[in-house]
Amino acid sequence: MLIDMSSDTTFIPLSVPCLGGREREYLTSCVDDNWVSSVGPFVRRFEGAFAQHVGASHAIACASGTAALHLAMLAAGVEPGDLILVSSLTFIASVNAIRHAGADPVLVDCHPGSWQMDMDRVSRFLMEECDTREGTCRHRQSGRRVAGIVPVHILGHGADLPALLAIAARHHLVVVEDAAEALGVRIAGRHAGTFGRLGCFSFNGNKTITTGAGGMVVTDDRTLADRVRHLSEQAKLPGSEYVHDAVGYNYRMSNLHAAVGLAQLEQLTGHLAAKRAIADRYASAFAGRAGIGWIRPTEGVDPAWWLFTLTIDPAITGLTARQVMAHLKEQGIESRPLWQPIHLSPAHTGALFLGGEVAERLYDQALSLPSSVGLSATDQDRVIETITELLMSNQRRSNHA
């Protein structure tokens, strides 16, 4: 959706960066010191501070969250022909990264309350359609190895990791977490992204902290960390000669991006508090309104509320989410539906799907509302009033019909 922001000063965007800290100062020092590439000092500083923040032993900064996921798949030992379980209701990059590694996804529907990967479906698939023996899990029908599982913690919430880890251990699956949207999410007191062998984050412009474009792989395993770093640097062997021992990638983050990332990380506590306050205000404004719902955090998960997302039931409200989105757009307010579930995506036709219609219902009914860290109370009130008035006038019309 293209929105002309030039002529409308009252436009309320969905999720824009808040560059309120030392970004300019750190960028200026990159320019003054002539360090702009990935060998500059901010990269290591950002990696160190990030690892410490989430409680991981190692962090490797990457050019994007998608690059981080691709490298994590390779380091985790995913091989061409493998099957990898992954949420169907996710941004497409989670699944593309599996395909980039030469594997294929097994797409899993989501839980109706938490909207995260439905662990009952995963468990049934592994018990009923796969054989686990001698340290390997195989899909019976295709004979292919089921090598791993990628829980995606969507919208600043968390998947049911305790259940997932137990299942993964039973079936010898490597766990790679897609925590691109989950900075600040804690599960049983621990940061999302630090449970699996590797976890991946994104610092794309709409995330809770941004580097413009960027991502991070975290892991507690030094060997895996070294592998990720090596592959991200074109698999070049140390020294001045250009000798490479594998087909690598140019996936490193630049010093300029890391400078912004470090400044952003320093403000994370404030950003998370702002997200929580925004979610609280939406939740109390829409509480009890017929036909309106939103994500319910999984037990034990302390969410970070990246994008507050409503569901609008057309059978009760008489309005579809797309109609509400169009009305908001007319009023200069940006909102957006969730991603087309990947099992419906032409990009991944033919992938196995374990579901269910939950993801499809959420695709129809969900609408993410403005949730920028810098969203003012006045602007949020305008969003709430615009939606509430639309719902009420529609209700009045249907009462008179």
Ligand X SMILES: Cc1ncc(COP(=O)(O)O)c(C=O)c1O
Contact residues: ligand X, CB under 6 A: 64-66, 90-91, 93-94, 152, 178, 180-181, 202, 204, 215
Between vectors from CA 100 to CA 187 and to CA 306, what angle results, nearest 5°?
30
Pairwise CA distance, residues 278 & 281, whole Å = 5
Q: Give the CB-nearest residue to ligand X.
A: 65
CB of 74 to ligand X, least distance (A): 16
Pairwise CA distance, residues 380 & 9, whole Å = 15
Between vectors from CA 3 to CA 340 and to CA 344, what angle results, nearest 5°?
10
Instruction: With beta carbons less than 8 A apart as the criterion, state whether 175 and 149 touch.
Output: yes
CB of 153 to ligand X, least distance (A): 8
Pairwise CA distance, residues 88 & 81, whole Å = 19
CB of 115 to ligand X, least distance (A): 12
CB of 7 to ligand X, least distance (A): 28
CB of 177 to ligand X, least distance (A): 10
Nearer to ligand X, 107 or 387 (CB): 107
User: What letter represents residue 45's amino acid?
Assistant: R
Nearer to ligand X, 78 or 126 (CB): 78
CB of 179 to ligand X, least distance (A): 8
Quickly count: other Cβ atoms within 10 Å of residue 121's Cβ.
20
Nearer to ligand X, 62 or 390 (CB): 62
CB of 50 to ligand X, least distance (A): 14
Structure tokens at 45: 């500083």
Residue 343's Cβ-count burial label (10 Å; 0-12, 13-18, 19+) is: buried
Instruction: With beta carbons less than 8 A apart as the criterion, state whether 333 and 391 touch.
Output: no
Pairwise CA distance, residues 45 & 56, whole Å = 15
Nearer to ligand X, 94 or 371 (CB): 94
Nearer to ligand X, 181 or 334 (CB): 181
Pairwise CA distance, residues 340 & 152, whole Å = 15
Nearer to ligand X, 253 or 279 (CB): 253
Nearer to ligand X, 157 or 382 (CB): 157
Nearer to ligand X, 105 or 332 (CB): 105
Query: Cis peptide before 77, with omega less than 30 degrees from 0?
Result: no
Pure H helices in 172-253: 222-232
CB of 225 to ligand X, least distance (A): 19
Pairwise CA distance, residues 174 & 6, whole Å = 47
